[in-house]
Structure 1
């Protein structure tokens, strides 16, 4: 086998991390910590807001990808289905979002879900507030495992598209960078956005 052919055979495909579409939940409320805890538990069960149309560019991209996978959360599964139609894809528990247990602040304090989400992530990340759920160190280890899995999928040279979640996609991206991958393109972390990683 020539050096050129060897190099071609070792070339990985890209890994594209996509955030799911908008979930079917209203954030136009104010909640106590306990109410936000129930809000997040319900959010984890919900699918997509009806009537959404995925970006055409992303849909065309998914049609050309070699491997499509999603997390096992309904909002991720429905997003993958909206992009892929009848195409089969695997679901992986490893790709679910990291938990968001809110800090135990006074019951009279009412905040929007967006602010509670920020506070919960801050407390979880910096103060290890987990309420018996997954810890930061455990989520980072899971992200390392997910990155290794995706690199395996990409090893044959085909592009891999992942339908998962904003923060856990961020953790996977950090893991990919540690393993020598670079961020080649990013649309941020909004719904339906994608971040493309390539072998460095």
Structure 2
């Protein structure tokens, strides 16, 4: 049995705009509604998607469109359980920074070293890992098209369950990591 954790393709959204932290919630809403930027899907991940027993994804648009590009015409199991972990957002008026800087700062604030997710997020990651294990048992293999941070948290849970794979899953667009069931 195997579980493949893949990150979605690049979203069609400008990441170079600057804004105040109190506007992060609105920017995240736009990010969640964004589709995919044009571009080819790497052949290696397309082959993995074609070979798995079941294809699953977060129900956010960038993931569902990614799954459709990976395996056109194939049924995809989209679930809210696999959505990205949401960063906190304070109501500060300053300073203005790009979204990637805010995301990094909020994640560091929320997940101090050693990284510990908020209890609700940790519980959802645990449930997501258990759901993937269930799907892998039923279908032999599953590929999840998901998100960067939630992918890391799911990987942590899979490893805690004895699955073998990288400690830190690949986090670039269209990159994936394979986890194998314990013997």
**Normalized against structure 2, the TM-score is what?**
0.90
Q: Which residue of 2 is the match for residue 62 of structure 1?
A: 49
Structure 1 residues 96-117: Cα deviation after superposition (integer angstroms, max 9, x where no partner): 0111233344x23111111100
**Gap change, CA 1:173 and 1:143, over 3 Å in 2:** same
CA distance in structure 1 between the aligned counterparts of 2:168 and 2:160, rounded to whole angstroms: 18
Alpha-carbon deviation of 1:35?
A: 2.4
Q: Does 1:43 align with 2:31?
A: yes
Query: Which structure's CA Rg is the greater one?
Result: 1
Q: In structure 1, list runs of 5 or more residues that go unmatched.
A: 1-12, 127-134
Q: In structure 2, list runs of 5 or more residues that go unmatched.
A: none
Corresponding pairs, count: 178
Q: Does 1:82 align with 2:69?
A: yes
**Gap change, CA 1:176 and 1:16, over 3 Å in 2:** same
Find 1:189's aligned residue among 156, 164, 171: 171
Residues 188, 194 of structure 1: 8 Å contact kept: yes
Structure 1 residues 119-158: Cα deviation after superposition (integer angstroms, max 9, x where no partner): 12122334xxxxxxxx811111111111111111111462
Specify the SS of the correspondent of 1:101.
coil
Q: Which residue of 1 is the match for residue 125 of structure 2?
A: 143
| Segment of structure 1 superposing worse, 153-162 or 54-63 | 153-162
Q: Which residue of 2 is the match for residue 125 of structure 1?
A: 111
Q: Does 1:155 align with 2:142?
A: no
Instruction: List structure 1 segments (4+ residues) > 3 angstroms apart after TM superposition.
Output: 184-187
Measured on the aligned residues, the alpha-carbon RMSD in Å equals 1.8
Q: Which residue of 2 is the match for residue 95 of structure 1?
A: 82
